[in-house]
Structure 1
Amino acid sequence: MEERPWTGAENTGGAGDAGGVDRADRADRTEPGTGTDALRIGVLAYPGCFASEVFGVPDLLTMAAHIAGPDAPGYRVTVLSPRRRVLASGDTALDVTPLRPNIDILVVPGFALRTGLGRVSKVPPGPRPLARPLAALSESSKYAQYEDDPPPCDRTHQTPQAPPSGRTELLSKHALDLDERLASLAPETAAIRAYAEAGTAVVGICVGAFLLAEAGLLRHRRATTAWLFADELARRCPEADVRAEELVVTDAGVTTTAAFSAMYDFALDLIRRHSGARVARTTARVALVDDARDSQTPYVDPGLLPRPGNAFAQRVMRRLDQDLAARYDLAALAAAFGVSTRTLLRRFADETGHSPLAHLQAARVRRARHLLETTDRTVAAVAAAVGYRDPGTFAALFARHTGRRPAAYRAAFRRTDLPHTALRGSMDPR
């Protein structure tokens, strides 16, 4: 992370003010060392959010507070909501506290993007006051129902940046489902915007970044999200600089993270800044959390991404995939399809957004990853199997695509659940 996710100047109230809500509330977690220097964190719960992402960061902070000891500055965590009742993923009922003004960091968990993976509970019926300025919330305030006030990034998806022609159909239903999901969370979007305007640091976990974008917080900022949905985030909010390879990105008080477990990368950085490097390191060891990774690139599975391209590009890709070890010959490839090299490159780029060589290199790396994970072949043998005579050239390309050199990738991702013959490569002679 490139900057602190909060500063004292951004606070909206006194350090010891708990917002007037009874600290015995079950949604309010007070950990060792929660004196006047305690960091006040609010987790925004909403219908269908991942319950594990509501409690993942607080649980790690709890461990860190115990490791730091009672005399060290601790953490005060509250689960907040603009609703009276919240059912998280799996219909898990959450105890929630009304929105309060005096927090240092607002954490926004992610949700299931697919319809049906998280039930959207309805807001209980009854009169609801309209939104008031965040600073006006107090012990006497009720749960606020926000008016629909479209944020800057809102509605941009109605006229989105057009994807390559072959992907339009793939994206249309998913985009519609996401539109409906975000529309149902208008009160949460308004709350996020209100906290940001009050100077609170805001953190989006995983696809919580889509809620931050809906609130207008990602415009002209760097951001990341789960690699599987990074293209969709960039499409919906083209003014954001989406860094799909990053685990955690902080820009001007707004932090976004990669998928699920990246919440722990954020939490460890927060612990490191608030409690010190020793506490962060010990917490990581006790919790068995990797505190040394710096990219989500090694975890990307291209097979789960939509395959771009219309009929022409698809046929070119199939031909290249048939023999990954063959030398790349653009002229011969164009001749096989009865077009000039210029026409081949133009049509392929129009349909996919990249070149045939870029596709071939990605396919070779994908194949090499499989061989490194499942066989005992040397790096040189793997390089030769995917068309590279020079292991050094192959290693540089592999690192550019995955963020790790081949040997380091094998050490991290080698599969040990396969028959011994498979590891020797006899089941995969190519």
Structure 2
Amino acid sequence: MGKEVAVLVYPGCMGMEVFALTDLVLMANHLASHMQPARVDALRVRLVTLRASPVAIAGGLSVVAQRLRGRPDLIVVPGLEVSRFGEWDERFAHLGEELKAIRRFHRQGIALASVCIGSFVLAEAGVLQGRRAATAWPFVNEFQDRYPDVQIEKDAVLVSDGGVTTTGAVSSVMDLGQHLIRENFGVAVARAVGKLALIDGGRVSQRAYVDNALIPQNRAPFSGQVNRWLTSRLSEAYNLGALADEFHVTSRTVLRRYRQETGMTPLQWLQKARIERAKYLLELSAMPMAEVVATVGYQDLATFSRLFARETGQTPGHYKRRFQMKGVAGLRRG
């Protein structure tokens, strides 16, 4: 008999993270039956709940799931709907039954996995303490603040540590599915599923997808003013002395106060802001690469490329080929 995977359906969980996994495994079972006819170890996926069925998931949809009984080989916890940052106490106040059950599953030695910010649910249940974990990139800072005893791997798409597997953002349910398929059927079947489903099975990092404009920005008074001043001068050479003069303090005071509020230097923040601007231009404009580089304050393409690759894990050219949106190449930010 093959392994049994139970997807835990609970109020407010994300439908894609529930059904994408069941569909991928269904495809894998069909392909494996043709590619490996002598094998009978199909993966079995069922939707389970701790509540009365049907369950109202994200978007108000209703899902019929079985009451969880028996001992599955793996329990998958999807992420939950989030419309704003913070407010985790409110969200978890409605999931007491699930948190209690996850602790029980863990004590029983049942393997656990999460999709996207399902990692928050596992961490809240206490099963990630002292472990390495992944979560969706917009929520890394909140995760670190709330669960300092978990070693978050902020760029990772999938992390397995001691029988607990966590993944990155919403679409990482595909990566989790491919991971389970490889474990159960081997590389050949996983590759075939990826080809049919148009899944890039080689994702290891979330860095290329990070857009800091989607994350709440620093509201500290001094560094916030510095950031606005630097943003208005992205194409200009960095000049710490001019920055200090603008705020009527010494260069040393700028560095001290800025680091106290942000943990970095103004130049480090400026480099990240320039990379974000460059990513936007590469995605949504037809600018030649040299013009993009000059627009964000660099003169040397090689230097810029090294910084860009360090932040995104890709060269500017590869990033542009992968992410440029067709049909809007003439758009420029005002």
Bin for the TM-score computed over the shorter chain? over 0.9
Offset from partner CA, 1:402-421 (integer Å, 9 cap, x none): 121101100100111226xx
Alignment match of 1:87 (pick from 52, 56, 80):
56
Please say which of residues 336-345 and 68-77 is displaced more in the overlay: 68-77
Alignment match of 2:16 (pick from 39, 48, 52):
52
5 Å-filtered alignment, 1:246-325, equals 246-325=156-235
Tell me the number of residue pairs that the alignment of Structure 1 and Structure 2 aligns. Answer: 329
Letter in 1 for 2:56: L
Could you tell me whether the CA contact under 8 Å between 2:24 and 2:177 is conserved in 1? Answer: yes
Offset from partner CA, 1:314-372 (integer Å, 9 cap, x none): 22111111121211121221122111222111211222232101111011101111221
Offset from partner CA, 1:17-67 (integer Å, 9 cap, x none): xxxxxxxxxxxxxxxxxxx2x011011111111122112111101001101
Cα distance in 1 between the residues matched to 2:109 and 2:92: 23
5 Å-filtered alignment, 1:150-229, equals 174-175=85-86, 177-229=87-139
Give the drift of 1:94: 2.0
Letter in 2 for 1:226: A
Cα distance in 2 between the residues matched to 1:246 and 1:376: 31
Match for residue 46 of structure 2? 78
Q: Which of these two proteins has the greater Rg computed from alpha carbons?
A: 1
Could you tell me whether the CA contact under 8 Å between 2:158 and 2:168 is conserved in 1? Answer: yes
Alignment match of 1:368 (pick from 258, 274, 278):
278
Cα distance in 2 between the residues matched to 1:114 and 1:366: 23
Could you tell me whether the CA contact under 8 Å between 1:309 and 1:348 is conserved in 2? Answer: no
Give the secondary structure class of the aligned counterpart of 1:218.
Answer: coil
Q: Which has the higher helix share?
A: 2
Could you tell me whether the CA contact under 8 Å between 2:75 and 2:111 is conserved in 1? Answer: yes
Alignment match of 1:113 (pick from 74, 82, 99):
82
Match for residue 318 of structure 2? 408
Does residue 42 of the first structure (1) align with residue 11 of the second (2)? Answer: no
Q: TM-score, normalised by structure 2?
A: 0.93
Could you tell me whether the CA contact under 8 Å between 1:113 and 1:178 is conserved in 2? Answer: no
Cα distance in 1 between the residues matched to 2:90 and 2:292: 46
Offset from partner CA, 1:282-311 (integer Å, 9 cap, x none): 101111122122211111111111110322
Does residue 347 of the first structure (1) align with residue 257 of the second (2)? Answer: yes
Match for residue 378 of structure 1? 288
Give the drift of 1:396: 0.9
Match for residue 232 of structure 1? 142
Percentage of matched positions with identical amino acids: 41
List alignment gaps of at least 5 residues for structure 1: 1-35, 116-173
Give the drift of 1:245: 1.2
Letter in 2 for 1:301: D
Offset from partner CA, 1:260-299 (integer Å, 9 cap, x none): 1001011112111211111111101111122122211111
Give the secondary structure class of the aligned counterpart of 2:16.
Answer: helix
Over the aligned positions, Cα root-mean-square deviation in angstroms equals: 1.8
Give the secondary structure class of the aligned counterpart of 1:47.
Answer: coil
Could you tell me whether the CA contact under 8 Å between 1:309 and 1:351 is conserved in 2? Answer: no
Letter in 2 for 1:81: T
Could you tell me whether the CA contact under 8 Å between 2:285 and 2:328 is conserved in 1? Answer: no
Cα distance in 2 between the residues matched to 1:389 and 1:104: 56
Give the secondary structure class of the aligned counterpart of 1:206.
Answer: coil
Q: TM-score, normalised by structure 1?
A: 0.73
Letter in 2 for 1:395: S
Does residue 61 of the first structure (1) align with residue 19 of the second (2)? Answer: no
Cα distance in 2 between the residues matched to 1:386 and 1:273: 45
Cα distance in 2 between the residues matched to 1:400 and 1:296: 13
Offset from partner CA, 1:85-122 (integer Å, 9 cap, x none): 2211233222222223421111001111238xxxxxxx
